[in-house]
Amino acid sequence: MALEPDSRIPPPSDKEPDWENLDASYEAPGARDVVPDMPPIPDVTTHDPPMDNWAWTHLDDGYHEPKKPFPAPNREIVSEENPLEVDVFYSMRSPYSYLSLFRLAYLNSNFNVNVNIKVIFPIAARTAKPGQKSGIGGRWYFWGYTLHDAPRSARYEGIPFRMFNPDPILADTYPPESATQITAPMEKQPYITWLVRLANAAQLEGKALEYCLAVSPLIFGAETPLGTWPFHVEAAVNSIGMNYNHVIKDIQANPAKYDAVWEQNQIDFQMTGQGGVPTMSWNGEPFFGQDRFNQFFWRLRENGLTKRQVPREPLVARPLRWPTSSGGE
């Protein structure tokens, strides 16, 4: 999808939004109070992409020779003992990451492939300097369209869905015709650092997929009363065999241990040459968007993907729109 630059004059604003009293999404009373104190987060904004990222080194415009040849197909036998390895760059704020989640989990449990979820900061944080528009805010049409398209896509996919309330990122997004689209500075963000560091803890324990399956439906799946998902995160983390209180204490004592995870995830993400989530990656090649899952699955089948004899946990129901034309039965 082509993205045009936003050439409109930004709305006038002579002061920073009142971050304590935004009307952009609903927060139940006390929602912020359940978030434990978090140590300061390093700079999360991404910088210029590496020159050797996959998209640039394999660029084929029909005129210039690509700098690197397209990777040869895998010829090894894929089995439970020798599975394929794929990375998925995922945001806890992205409705489209959530809409890809159940197909990714079904893929992981029913086929010989390890789906490695790597949670990164949302684009609204990665592309926003304090007091400036984020990368999303710079495209005037994106936010309003997303609020229409995400529920529609969920209905098409047969996935329970309700847009996040509260928004995991504090940003001035309402009303759409006059909102500044400014993202709050990280030190004023009540939720996203908490969610990302917990995801990084899960990744260190080999439970990133389980974490997303437990927490993302709280944010997007209408499993809890409106505005209350933060109250249920602790129980969700404990439900996957992690010790929430122990993890929080360790994050507070050793933040660099967890920040190193998301920092490396974002480096790996930039190496794909993509900027949006979810991005699924096989052998370095990026597939951006939940609507590219069928192509992603087709590519894995081209590289020898086979079905497991017995599904493994975490188990999910077969998705409504599971690809069948690419050998997905």
Sheet with 285-288, side-by-side order of all strands: 113-119, 84-90, 279-282, 285-288
Strand partners, 119: 90
Alpha-helix runs per DSSP H in the chain: 54-57, 95-110, 123-126, 142-157, 192-204, 208-220, 233-239, 244-253, 255-272, 293-302
Per-residue pLDDT of the chain (329 residues; tens, 9 = 90+): 444 444 444 444 546 788 888 889 999 999 999 999 999 998 898 878 899 999 999 999 999 999 999 999 999 999 999 999 999 999 999 999 999 999 999 999 999 999 999 999 998 888 866 555 555 555 677 888 999 999 999 999 999 999 999 999 999 889 888 888 888 888 899 999 999 999 999 999 999 999 999 999 999 998 999 999 999 999 999 999 999 999 999 999 999 999 999 999 999 999 999 999 999 999 999 999 999 999 999 999 999 999 999 999 999 999 999 998 756 66
Domain ranges of the chain: 77-120+188-302
77-120+188-302 sits in which CATH class? alpha beta
* DSSP secondary structure letter of residue 72: P
Whether this prediction's pTM lies above 0.75 is answered by yes
